[in-house]
Structure 1
Amino acid sequence: MPGRILILNGAPRSGKSTLARAVQAHVPGRWINWGVDAFNGTLPPALLPGIGLRPGGERPDLEPEVRRLYTGFFSAMAGFARQGFDVVADLGMHSVYAAPFDPLDVLRQELNGLNPILVGIDCPIEIIMARRNADPRGYVAGPGIPAPVARWQEAVHEGKDYALRLDMGNLAPEAGAARLGGIMPQSM
């Protein structure tokens, strides 16, 4: 019996990774956390930011690789699920590239028949900026909202049909995991 697939889609610093860890800890199953950070950690510098490429068409030279990377990413996810593992993935999928491309098309193709559950992760921009400024990870911290951060807020949810949306700026990770556990089919 294939495992379940739960995809958490939202902007960077919206609480997706913390929620994915809460799912592993609090939702029954054998959850593999296979998200953007885990995947991009396997890539050489020449392919970064990989599937984390920001909206806005900023790296048209890398976009053909992003399509191939998403194909490999979802193919690996399907492999885990077909082996009976549950998979939770924290992603920031958008379709705002220089050339037309939507990762959801790749998701549908690679995960066909596995019934992934797509969940939108929201968070107020003020909370995202506070989290970003507290842990800038190489970005310049400070006042104001940088244009790329503002673009994520809109682009990541545009055109998506979610099974559920969670505001992880106002919801504790354990409470979010409980809500997700309530919509997940039972594991075998």
Structure 2
Amino acid sequence: MPKIDKPGEIIILNGTPRSGKSSIALVIQNTFEGVWMNLGVDQFMQMTPKQFQPGIGLRPGGERPDLESTIKIMYRAMYETIAQFSRLGLNVVVDVGHHDGYSVPLRILPECARILDGLPVFFVGVRCPIEIVMERRIKTWNAGYNHDGEVPKPIALWQELVHIPGVYDMEIDTSVYSPEECAKLIRQRLENGQPPEAFQLIKNMETE
């Protein structure tokens, strides 16, 4: 087995559905130097049996308490996999939407941060105004506003909860930058020599 000189880099893109995470992940995978494995929410949902869908993609609102204990295990499995890839020298990009809007607090994010303790993790907040998110939802799924013109509650909850606690190594706004520009900003952050610290802070954080 070849000697592993250093662990692979890990980039976690955290944001709401339709915020542009997957497009950024694809650019990173196709243009960054080295091998970049993509281990995001879509890949894990594809692996999840129908009766446990949407798995880790479950939206906030506490609608499926019957799935929550399994979802917590799935997140742990995903992050254990990320850690193992990194320890074997493979880079990993992850697009995900962390929230704690379950029927009871699960505190999944601090646990995931502890799993990656000691590894080079860059936690990136992918922000996008809700108006742009709605435009993208309508274009992609033909699913938009309520009949009264209001944003559907689950989408509003995503926007409210996905960036709690809001501790990141960097944040990008996909309404301002293209996926290629976002990837370039992330590359510059990786190359500037400043060590990531967000997950070090989050792993000891207890949310209320």
TM over 0.5, yes or no? Answer: yes
1:169 aligned residue (161, 175, 192): 175
Root-mean-square deviation over aligned CA pairs? 1.5
| Residue segments in structure 2 that go unaligned for 5+ positions in a row | 1-5, 193-208
Q: Which residue of 2 aligns with 1:179?
A: 185
Among 160, 163, 166, the alignment partner of 1:154 is 160
Q: Distance in 2 between matches of 1:52 and 1:44?
A: 13
SS, match of residue 70 in structure 2: helix
1:122-154 CA distances to partner (integer Å, 9 max, x unpaired)?
A: 011111111111111xx7445642110111011
Q: 2-side partners of 1:75 and 1:40: how far apart?
A: 17
Question: Partners in 2 of 1:27 and 1:176 — Cα distance?
Answer: 13
Counterpart check, 1:108 vs 2:80: no
- Deviation track 1:88-109 (CA, whole Å, cap 9, x = no partner) reads 0000001111111122122122
Shift of 1:164: 0.5
Give, in angstroms, the shift of residue 37 of structure 1. 0.2
Runs ≥4 residues deviating over 2 A? 139-144
Instruction: Measure, in 2, the Cα distance between the counterparts of 1:29 and 1:180.
Output: 15
1:21-74 deviation line (CA, Å, top 9, x unaligned): 111122222111110001111110111111111111111111111110001010
CA–CA distance in structure 2, aligned partners of residues 73 and 110 of structure 1: 10
> d(CA) in 2 for partners of 1:12 and 1:179?
21
Say if 1:13 and 1:132, in contact at 8 Å, map to a contact too: yes
**SS of equivalent residue, structure 1 residue 154:** helix
Counterpart pick for 2:128 among 114, 123, 128 = 123
Question: For structure 1, which runs of at least 5 residues remain unmatched after alignment?
Answer: none
The correspondence of residues 7-86 of structure 1 with structure 2, limited to 5 A, is: 7-86=12-91
Contact 1:50 1:66 in 2 (8 A): yes
Query: Is 2:10–2:120's contact at 8 Å kept on the other side of the alignment?
Result: yes
- Maintained 8 Å contact 1:27/1:178: no
The Cα offsets for residues 107-128 of structure 1, whole Å up to 9 and x where unpaired, read as 1222121131110000111111
The percentage of counterpart residues that share the same residue type is 42
- The letter for the 2-side match of 1:58 is E
Alignment: residue pair count: 184
Per the alignment, residue 135 of structure 1 pairs with 140
Larger RCO, structure (CA 8 Å, separation 6 or more)? 1
